[in-house]
Amino acid sequence: MNYDASLWLIFIVLGLATTLPRASFIVLGNRFSLPPTLQRALRYAPAAALAAIVVPDVLVIGGNVAPVNPKLAAAIAAILVAARWRNPWLPFIVGMGVLLGIKALLPGQG
């Protein structure tokens, strides 16, 4: 795939969307603070956002919900391994192993 110059605009916008929240209160000092209720609600943003990206990625194939597919099986394997062991490499080894194993055994399954 080829990207045009607008890719760099995306990077700059994302860079601002990273540095500004990070620098916000450190730069402002104690002059401002977030309402505690908002702080508590915002803690859920990363989990909600990650799931909103991952779940459709492994559950939707070509626009339809596919409850049986190699990516979903690999994702479930990775979840189980990540929940059980703290080794940072293991979910990648097991997840990729399951994905490639199923694809090798069942050619044509996505």
Partner 1 sequence: MQATDFESRGIVAGAREGFIAFLPVSVGLIPWALVVGMAMTSAGFTPLQAMGMNIIVFAGTAQLGTLPLIIDNAPLWLILATGLALNLRFLIFSAGIAPGFRGIGTGWRWLSGHLLTDGSFAVCYDKMMQVDDPRWRLGYYLITGVWTWLLWQTFTLAGIFAAGIVPKSWSLEFMATIALIVLLVPMAKSRPMLVAAMVGGGSAVLLRGMPLRLGVVTAICLGIAAGFAAEHWQEKKAA
Task: Please report, as ranges, the residues that interact with partner 1 according to CB under 8 A.
Answer: 1-3, 6-15, 17-19, 21-30, 33-34, 39-60, 63, 65, 71, 74-75, 78-79, 82-83, 88-89, 91-92, 95-96, 99-100, 103
Run of H or E residues at 92:
helix 90-105
Q: Judged by CB, which is closer to partner 1: 12, or 105?
A: 12
Count of C-beta atoms within a 10 Å radius of residue 31: 7
Measured from the CB of residue 68, what is the shortest distance to partner 1 in angstroms? 15
Taking CA atoms, 84 is separated from 80, 97, 101, in Å, by 6, 17, 22
